[in-house]
Amino acid sequence: DQQVKQNSPSLSVQEGRISILNCDYTNSMFDYFLWYKKYPAEGPTFLISISSIKDKNEDGRFTVFLNKSAKHLSLHIVPSQPGDSAVYFCAASVRSGGGADGLTFGKGTHLIIQP
């Protein structure tokens, strides 16, 4: 049973436009969410995160939105750049004993930025 779902395996966006990556979760105990970016043959790189007490977090071109009632979060990248082409993973965590739990990841969305 997948607790974190990224239903789009791939997404193609034109350079300069907005990229929107979606993520849904089923476990209502999740209270911290993260996005990671992964290039081939490299480990995932932390991008941006959001706590369940917020509904938006912004960092430069990246904004994450959280809709707790819908158990849905999204990552917006604007404007999209060629270097943004990568696989993006959504991850979630449960706070317990200081949040030591391993992260639960989605299967990833391959974002392709077209020139």
Partner 1 sequence: GAGVSQSPSNKVTEKGKDVELRCDPISGHTALYWYRQSLGQGLEFLIYFQGNSAPDKSGLPSDRFSAERTGGSVSTLTIQRTQQEDSAVYLCASRLGPDSSYEQYFGPGTRLTVT
Residue (of 113, 107, 94) closest to 23 by Cα position: 107
One-letter amino acid of 38: K
Q: Contact between 63 and partner 1 (CB under 8 A)? A: no
Residue 38 or residue 61: which is nearer to partner 1 going by CB? 38
d(CA 63, CA 74): 8
Among 8, 11, 32, 57, indicate the residue that binds partner 1 (CB under 8 A). Answer: 32
Query: Cα dihedral sign for 84, 88, 92, 97?
Result: negative
Q: Contact between 108 and partner 1 (CB under 8 A)? A: yes
Q: Contact between 62 and partner 1 (CB under 8 A)? A: no
Q: Which residues of the shown chain bind partner 1 in the complex (CB under 8 A)?
A: 4, 6, 32, 34, 36, 41-46, 49, 89, 91, 93, 97-108
